Amino acid sequence: MLEVIVLSLALIVITIIGMRSEIAQDDLELKISEQITPENTFLSQLQQKVEVTLFPRPSDATLNRHYNALIRAELDAHISSMPNS
């Protein structure tokens, strides 16, 4: 009977330790999130500006892929037309 209690307690401890390590990994992943830089903000704003001038985003996967390619081409055109600073 004592062996069963010890085994049960050992399994509970192992489970708690496993849960704590998963929580620690989740916290670590949250801390490593992408930092917002002025460049990322600028590109996001430029992409929104381009998307406003285009037709609405399609729901079909193939058309959506072509739409993303069109947006990338428009972004490249805008960026290449900017003066180097």
pLDDT digits (tens, 9 = 90+) for 14-31: 776 666 555 555 555 555
List of residues 6+ apart from 54 with CB closer than 8 A: 67, 70, 71, 74
Is the pLDDT at 74 greater than 80? The verdict is yes
More confident residue, 85 or 48: 48
pLDDT the model gives residue 67: 92
The whole-angstrom separation of Cα 75 and Cα 84 is: 16
